Every structure is written in structure tokens, then in C-alpha cells.
Amino acid sequence: MAGAVLFLGAFLLYLPTRDFAYVNYDDVEYVIDNPNMPAGLTWENLRWAFTTSYACNWHPLTWLSHLLDRTLFGPGPGPAHLVNVLFHAANAVLAFLLLARLTKARWKSALAAAIFAWHPSHVESVAWIAERKDVLSAFWGLLSLWFYARWAGSDSKQPRDRILSLVCFALGLLAKPMLVTWPFLMLVLDVWPLRRSSHWFSPDMLRLAREKIPFFLLSAASCAATLLAQKTGGAVVPLEVLGMDVRIGNAAVSYARYVGQFLWPDGLIIPYLRIRDLSPWLGGSVIVALVLVTVVLLRAPSHRHSLAAGWLWFLGTLVPVIGLLQVGAQAMADRYTYIPFIGLSVMLIWGLASLPVPKRGIAPLMVCLSAGYLGILGLLTHWQMQHWKNGEVLFQHTLSLDPGNIQAANGLAWVYATDLDPGIRNGAKAVRLGEALVKHTQRSEPQFLNTLAAAYAETGNFPLAVKTAEEALTFPRVQKQQMFLFNARLELAKYRQGRALRP
């Protein structure tokens, strides 16, 4: 019953996304302008999915899912949105089944899964077609943990469950490498709630780690393949551009901001830029606070192990995307919380349940509070979802909350220059925004030059478009693939212009 309610609730909440457009931000690169997509799922594209580093990523299962969308449904965005919604609804059920099997506490597990299903921070993962990798990897990752819990929690230790856990883990990594910390998460679950080890520093932990060697090997292979793909595409920011001291400070502050967003999900935008001139005192203070919280929770008595387990789930699953290995310009992202917030939900629910409060008459009050809290989350999610109708609305929302966000301004200019919807394209607006960005950065950012070139092309000023694009090409960090996409848009703009000039 609880699983059905979770599935239906998540599905109906996100059902309006079936009418949303492609977002001209990664959706373009992943799906619209991807030269392999028109053919759909073929043997040649199957080979391509496993061998390409297209878009600076290696996630073959995600590519295959997009190709299958194209084969089954055609190029429209509606069905692809619904596939994301179905995966998210299934993930809510899997989160419930996993926690219920681990803890034997069905109602606490249902509440944690409901927070996962309706938290507004997860809108980015569900309403954005390019983030299919989030919902797809989480599906296989949660299924892997469920098989692991069935294996580790039984006396018979059926080899089939362990093999299925490993297979699902591999599929999750093929969808998105964020699951590379899964073996460490399994060690956390071994302490609580599986109780295969009496405490966090028990000698048993070494034995438990050895049994997970196949999982660690898969994680290592996924890390190597992902790093190679991202370096090949030029997406990894080198240390000489962004020093390790800045990365550590940003990572600490991002952890704190994520906790704040979990408790009060307000002001959600894309992208979040790094705090300029981050004070070393602020970064250092947050690091000290994070360490103190971790030490206190790890040293807590065994009946409080749920708090440490939830905290370690949150900290550990964020490690691959916390920015120590910086990919792209964003400081943090809502989509990164899709799996980690399950850990904070465990902390919140099991922590509140362990408080020394009178038991008599508390159940009706808790039901009312839980229903009210979930209702607020659902309402906030509905509001947040409206910002993902199309790229123009999305970036205008970000700029309304963060007017100085130059990446959002560039995204809006890109939308005006290249969007599929002719009602949104506006060459004059694109040029105005693009020229302001290029002037602001003193022509030092190739991505802004690329956007401005596309804007000139949309207005029909092809000589200036080509000149600006060639200037962007002089930068060593410009990706060849990026210019391929620009050239495709340039030809499209020429076609539109030529058609418009015909008598």
C-alpha cells in the first residue's frame, strides 16, 4: 500500500512535465544536436554508446536510454519527460523497500521515501531530460543496495543476491559514475542498520571491506573511464586555474548549503556559482564544524548509530561531485542531492523518533505534522517545477534571484540565439546579452564568444558570426565538439535567413 501511494504521488506530482519543452542547456547537446540520435537504437549506436566520450562523459547506459526514447517515441520531449518521471516514481518505491528491509520500520521508511519523492531539490533531476542519468543510476543503485541488504541480512547468504547486487551496481555506474562510493556506503550499512559490525572502528570492518573488493574494482574502473572522458573533452578544470585551497573551501561551504537546502529548500537555481573571495575564516570554520559533527556522531552510543549512518550516507555520496575534482563552472547543483538527501532524511526521521518524548497521544500529532510537512514539500516542488517549462523561464528565474550570475545570463542569451521554439528565439536580445557578457569578461571567455557568434548568426550577420567563432577557436580549452554544434546552428540560421529572404 505504501509503495503504491509513493509511486502514484510522485508520478502525479511530476506529470505536468509531459508538456515541458527541451531545455536549451545540455538537452541540446545530449539529444537535439547529438548526431547519433536521429538513427535511434542501432547496432552502430550501441557500439558508439560504449566507446564515446561525447559531451565529456562516459555513461553508455544513459546514451542507450536516450536512443531508445528516440526509437520508441520520436524526437518530441514529452515522452522523454515521462520516462524520467516513471524512473523517479520507481526510485521512491525502491527507497522505501530498501529502508524497510534494512530497518524493519515500515512507516519511518515510507516517510523517508516520501521526502525523497517530493523534495523540491530533486526537480532538477526529474524535470530535466539531460539528467536521465540521475534517475537511471539511482534506480540501479538502489536496486543494488536492496539485493545487498537481502544478501547481508540473511543467514543463508545466497550467492545469487550478491551477484545481482554487483550486476545492478555495474549498471548504475554505466548510467552515471556518481555511484563510485557505493562500496563505502555498504560498509556504513553494515554497522547500521545491518549490525554486522558493533561499531565504526571495529576490526570487523577490514573483513567487511575485503568482501566488497569486486565492488571497489568496478568503482575504480568507472573512475578511470570517467576521468579519461572528461579530460579528453577538456571539462576538468586544472589546478593552476582553480587551486586546491579554493576547492576545499568551496566543498565545505557547499556541504553546509546542502544541509540548509534540505531543511529549507528556498532559492533553488541553476547554476550556482562559486562564492567570490570566499573568506578562509568562513571555509575553515565550516570545515571544523563538519569534522566536529562527524566525530560526535561516530562516537555516539550504538542506539544513535542511525544518525551517524545517515550523516555518512550524505557526506560520502556527495564526494564525487563536491568539487575537489572540479568539472565545469558550477559550485554545487540541486541534481547532486538526488541520492545524498536520503541520508539526511534518515537522520531527520530516526533522530526525531529517538527523542525522549511522551509516547501517549503522540502518534496522531506525528501523523498531522508529517502530512503537513510533506504537503509543503509537494507544494514547493510544484512551484519549482514551473521554472523548468523551457530554457527562457529557467534562466530568467535564476537571474531574478541572482542578477550577477553570468552563466545564467549566457544561458539565456544562448536560448534567445538557438532555441527550437521560434517564439522564444530573439536575435536582438541574444546579441545584447552576448555583447555585454563578452565586454564584461574582456573577451577572455570562449563560451561567451561562442554564444555571441550564435547570436550574430540568428540576426543574419554571418560574417561577424564566423569572425567571432574563429576568435573563440583560438582558445586552447575550446572543445571541437562545441564548435561542431555551433557550425550546425550556423548552417540552420543561414537556412532560416535564406528562406526568409526568398520572394
Instruction: Tell me: do 189 and 101 sit in the same domain.
Output: yes
CATH number, domain with residue 467 = 1.25.40
- Domain final residue pick, 387, 408, 426: 387
- Domain final residue pick, 387, 406, 432: 387
Residue 228 confidence (pLDDT): 87
CB 322 within 8 A of CB 249: no
Residue 463 confidence (pLDDT): 84
H/E element, 180 = none
Instruction: Tell me: do 325 and 406 sit in the same domain.
Output: no
Residue 137 confidence (pLDDT): 98
Structural domain total, the chain: 2
For CA atoms 446, 447, 452, 458, give the dihedral sign.
positive
Residue 193 confidence (pLDDT): 96
Task: Say whether 301 sits in a helix, a strand or coil.
Answer: coil
- Domain final residue pick, 387, 409, 443: 387
Name the β-bridge partners of 248.
Answer: none
- Low-confidence spans in the chain with pLDDT less than 50: 481, 499-503
Instruction: Tell me: do 307 and 269 sit in the same domain.
Output: yes
Instruction: Tell me: do 378 and 438 sit in the same domain.
Output: no
| Dist CA 50 CA 32 (whole Å) | 20
Taking Cα atoms as reference points, which of 187, 7, 24, 181 lies closest to residue 86? 7
Q: Which residues of 247-276 are buried (b: 16+ CB within 10 A; e: fewer)?
A: bbbbbbbbbebbbebbeebeebbbbbbbbe
Instruction: Tell me: do 181 and 328 sit in the same domain.
Output: yes
Any idea how long the chain is? Answer: 503
Residue 488 confidence (pLDDT): 55
Residue 240 confidence (pLDDT): 66
Instruction: Tell me: do 255 and 367 sit in the same domain.
Output: yes
Instruction: Tell me: do 396 and 375 sit in the same domain.
Output: no
Instruction: Tell me: do 305 and 454 sit in the same domain.
Output: no
Q: Interhelix angle for 106-118 vs 340-353, to 10°? A: 140
Residue 503 confidence (pLDDT): 31
Question: Cis before residue 193, ω within 30 degrees of 0?
Answer: yes
**2-53 pLDDT per residue, tens:** 899 999 999 999 999 999 999 988 898 899 889 999 999 999 999 999 999 8
Residue 474 confidence (pLDDT): 79
Instruction: Tell me: do 413 and 371 sit in the same domain.
Output: no
What share of the chain in percent tops pLDDT 70? Answer: 90
Instruction: Tell me: do 379 and 483 sit in the same domain.
Output: no
pTM higher than 0.85:
yes
Cα–Cα distances in angstroms (integers) from residue 326 to residues 276, 319, 352, 444, 477, in the given order:
16, 11, 36, 20, 15
Instruction: Tell me: do 382 and 396 sit in the same domain.
Output: no
Q: Interhelix angle for 159-175 vs 132-152, to 10°? A: 160
| Dist CA 466 CA 381 (whole Å) | 42
| Dist CA 102 CA 363 (whole Å) | 23
Instruction: Tell me: do 380 and 397 sit in the same domain.
Output: no
Residue 166 confidence (pLDDT): 98
Structural domain including 446 reads: 391-501
